Structure 1
Amino acid sequence: MANFPKVQEQNIAVFGEAGSGKTVLVSSFYGPTQESAYQNDLWDLVALQPGQGNRLLQSYLEMRDTATMPIQNRFSGITYQFAVKLKTTSLRESTKRPFDELRLMWHDYPGEWFTTDPEGDEEQARRLETWGNLLKSDVALILVDGQKLLDFRGEEERYLTSLFANYRQNILLAKDHLLAKNGPLVEFPRIWILALSKSDLHPGWTVESFRDLLIRKSAGEMNSLRETIASLLDTPKALSLGEDFLLLSSAKFQMKPGGYEPSEIDLTQRVGVDLVLPLASILPLERRVQWQQQFDIPLKVVDKLADGADVIAAALLGMKFKTVEKLFKNVAKTNKAIGVFTQLTPILAAAVAAAGPKLKEINAEARDRHDHLRSMLTQFKLDLEQSVTDNVALFRK
Structure 2
Amino acid sequence: MPPLDLHVAVFGASGAGKTVLLAAFYRAQTQPSFQEEYAYKIQAVNKAQGNQLLGRFYRLEEGKFPEGSTRFDEIEFDFFPRDLPEAAVRIHWYDYPGRWWEDEPVDAEEREAMRQGLLKLGMSQVGILLADGAKYRSEGTGYIRWLFEHFADECDRLRRTSAATGDEVSFPREWILALSKADLFPPDYGARDFEREVCRDADDQLAKLCSVLRAEHAFGHRFMLLSSVAAPADAHAQVDPRTSLGVRTLAPAILVSTVEGAVREAQATRKEKSAKETFFQGLRDLVQFVDSVDDFLPKRYQIVSKILRFVSLKDFASTRVDRLKKVREDALRRGDTFKAVLTGMVAALRDEEGLRAYHQNQ
Same fold (TM over 0.5): yes
The amino acid that maps onto 1:158 is G
Instruction: Give 1:334's aligned residue.
Output: none
Distance 2:27 2:354 in 1: 27
* Pairing 1:303-314 to 2, within 5 Å after superposition: 303-304=298-299, 306-314=301-309
The amino acid that maps onto 1:278 is P
Q: For 1:137, which of 110, 116, 124 is the aligned residue?
A: 124
Secondary structure of the residue aligned to 1:265 is coil
Q: For 1:202, which of 182, 185, 208 is the aligned residue?
A: 185
Instruction: Give 2:174's aligned residue.
Output: 191
Deviation at 1:175, TM superposition (A): 0.7
Instruction: Give 2:229's aligned residue.
Output: 251
Question: Mind listing any 5+ residue stretches in structure 1 that lack a counterpart?
Answer: 95-99, 231-235, 318-348
Deviation at 1:252, TM superposition (A): 0.8
Mapped contact 2:72–2:96 kept (Cα < 8 A): yes
Distance 1:117 1:132 in 2: 18
Structure 2 residue 255 is the aligned partner of structure 1 residue 281: yes
Structure 2 residue 242 is the aligned partner of structure 1 residue 268: yes
Deviation at 1:108, TM superposition (A): 0.5
Deviation at 1:219, TM superposition (A): 1.5
* Pairing 1:51-70 to 2, within 5 Å after superposition: 51-64=48-61, 66-70=62-66
Q: For 2:107, which of 101, 109, 120 is the aligned residue?
A: 120
Instruction: Give 1:18's aligned residue.
Output: 14
- The Cα offsets for residues 90-112 of structure 1, whole Å up to 9 and x where unpaired, read as 6xxx8xxxxx4311111101111
Distance 1:106 1:201 in 2: 26
Structure 2 residue 159 is the aligned partner of structure 1 residue 164: no
Mapped contact 1:285–1:352 kept (Cα < 8 A): no
Mapped contact 2:222–2:361 kept (Cα < 8 A): yes
Deviation at 1:191, TM superposition (A): 1.1
Instruction: Give 2:67's aligned residue.
Output: 71
Instruction: Give 1:28's aligned residue.
Output: 24
Structure 1 length as normaliser, TM-score? 0.75
Q: Flag the 1:221–1:81 CA change in 2: closer, same or farther, 3 A.
A: same
Q: For 1:86, which of 74, 81, 85 is the aligned residue?
A: 81
Q: For 1:7, which of 3, 6, 9 is the aligned residue?
A: 3
Mapped contact 1:251–1:267 kept (Cα < 8 A): yes
Deviation at 1:124, TM superposition (A): 2.8
Does 208-217 or 135-144 show the bigger shift? 208-217
Does 206-215 or 9-18 show the bigger shift? 206-215
How many equivalent pairs are there? 337
Structure 2 length as normaliser, TM-score? 0.82
Distance 2:162 2:29 in 1: 36
Deviation at 1:195, TM superposition (A): 0.7
Larger Rg: 1
Deviation at 1:387, TM superposition (A): 6.1
Q: Flag the 1:241–1:157 CA change in 2: closer, same or farther, 3 A.
A: same
Does 9-18 or 116-125 show the bigger shift? 116-125
Instruction: Give 1:338's aligned residue.
Output: none
Distance 1:87 1:355 in 2: 23
Distance 2:345 2:33 in 1: 21
Deviation at 1:377, TM superposition (A): 1.0
Instruction: Give 2:46's aligned residue.
Output: 49
Mapped contact 1:286–1:352 kept (Cα < 8 A): no
Deviation at 1:395, TM superposition (A): 1.5
Question: Mind listing any 5+ residue stretches in structure 2 that lack a counterpart?
Answer: 272-292
The amino acid that maps onto 2:177 is L
Over aligned residue pairs, what C-alpha RMSD do you find? 3.0
Q: Flag the 1:285–1:71 CA change in 2: closer, same or farther, 3 A.
A: same
Secondary structure of the residue aligned to 2:220 is strand
Deviation at 1:57, TM superposition (A): 0.5
Deviation at 1:396, TM superposition (A): 4.2
Q: Flag the 1:284–1:388 CA change in 2: closer, same or farther, 3 A.
A: farther
Distance 1:183 1:63 in 2: 39
Q: Flag the 1:367–1:48 CA change in 2: closer, same or farther, 3 A.
A: closer
Deviation at 1:368, TM superposition (A): 4.5
